[in-house]
Amino acid sequence: MQLNPHQIWRDIQAIRSAQPLIHNITNFVVMNTTANALLAIGASPAMVHATEEVEEFVSISQALVVNIGTLDANFVGGMELAMKQAHKLNKPIVFDPVGVGATSYRNKVSTQLIQAIPPSVIRGNASEIMALAGLDAQTKGVDSIYGSEAALNAAYFLSKKYNSTVVISGATDFIIYQDNMVSTANGHPLMSKVTGMGCTATALIGAFVAINPNYFEAAAHAMAVMGISGEIAAEKNPYPGSLQVNFLDTLYKLTGDDILYRLQVTS
């Protein structure tokens, strides 16, 4: 696949016009952050995890985002029900294996969830993608200790095993489906100094898969938008607190020219 800036812009316009409802089962750290990012790109977020209501909520949503960041048994119950319902109704599912590799509980739950219902897209950092593939990878809690290149083989393996698009984020973002790969080099190192940037990437993928049924392309478009918005925001004011605010403002007013002039495709 060739990344085309005009098609990225087309997807942004589609999100802004359709305002798809994105159902998020996500962690307590980033609920506010990712809801605001989804609003800024033009989507309509809701954070809903109770077992009593997730199935009904999936039915009215255009995509489901499942993020295991602050996992407990209640969350797991909601995730299982929501993923089953999304699968039944043919709605896209995006999965974020936050902190996989850090504890056996995270490893076990993630594998059970994606084996039962393979997600449309899996997005994690290198440590998470390697651990999810079953490698004995090191991690520092929710942060990776490897560059994204280190997880390439693991991502190809996962993509084939689950027929999912797999995204490895980092200084270079790799988007992989089966034997196909695209990579982008946008973004800024300061993004890793703000909590929830990876979760935000995952949530934005949710908005793109809601309006683009080519999930490989949609995930690549979301990562390009994430990186371009992050670097514009970091250039405005290179401090973490400002980055959070400027990132939202940049997403909100991102233009076709921003994409055209800044997109850095590396393969």
Ligand X SMILES: Cc1ncsc1CCOP(=O)(O)O
Ligand Y SMILES: Nc1ncnc2c1ncn2[C@@H]1O[C@H](COP(=O)(O)OP(=O)(O)O)[C@@H](O)[C@H]1O
Q: Are 40 and 66 in contact (CB under 8 A)?
A: no
Q: Which of 21, 29, 39, 171 binds ligand X (CB under 6 A)?
A: 29
Considering the rule CB under 5 A, would residue 170 count as an interface residue with Mg ion?
no
- String of contacts with ligand X for each residue 88-107, x by CB under 6 A: ----------x---------
Considering the rule CB under 6 A, would residue 196 count as an interface residue with ligand X?
yes
Smallest distance, ligand X to C-beta of residue 89, A:
27
Distance CA 119, CA 166 (A): 10
Question: Which DSSP string corresponds to 162-212?
Answer: HT-EEEEESSSEEEEETTEEEEE--S-GGGGGSTTHHHHHHHHHHHHHHH-
Give the nearer residue to ligand Y in terms of CB position, either 20 or 227.
Answer: 227
Integer angstrom CA distances of residue 198 from 13, 89, 194, 255, 262: 23, 27, 9, 22, 20
DSSP state of 117: S
Q: Which residues contact 112 (CB under 8 A, 6 or more apart)?
A: none
Considering the rule CB under 6 A, would residue 227 count as an interface residue with ligand X?
no
Considering the rule CB under 5 A, would residue 101 count as an interface residue with Mg ion?
no
Binding site for ligand Y (CB under 6 A): 125, 143-144, 169-171, 173, 187-189, 191-192, 197-198, 201, 226-227, 230
- State the Cα angle at 114 between 109 and 118, rounded to 5°: 170
Return the one option of ligand X, ligand Y, Mg ion, none that residue 78 interacts with (CB less than 5 to 8 A, by type): none
Return the one option of ligand Y, Mg ion, ligand X, none that residue 107 interacts with (CB less than 5 to 8 A, by type): none
Q: Which residues contact 228 (CB under 8 A, 6 or more apart)?
A: 186, 254, 258, 259, 262, 263
Return the one option of ligand Y, ligand X, Mg ion, none that residue 11 interacts with (CB less than 5 to 8 A, by type): none
Q: Is 17 annotated as a binding residue?
A: no
Q: Which of 12, 15, 30, 191 binds ligand X (CB under 6 A)?
A: 30
Q: Is 196 annotated as a binding residue?
A: yes
Measured in whole angstroms, the distance separating CA 200 from the mean position of its chain's CA atoms is 6
Q: Which of 3, 15, 41, 98 binds Mg ion (CB under 5 A)?
A: 98
Task: Give binding residues for ATP as ranges.
Answer: 123, 169
Residues in contact with Mg ion by CB under 5 A are: 98, 198
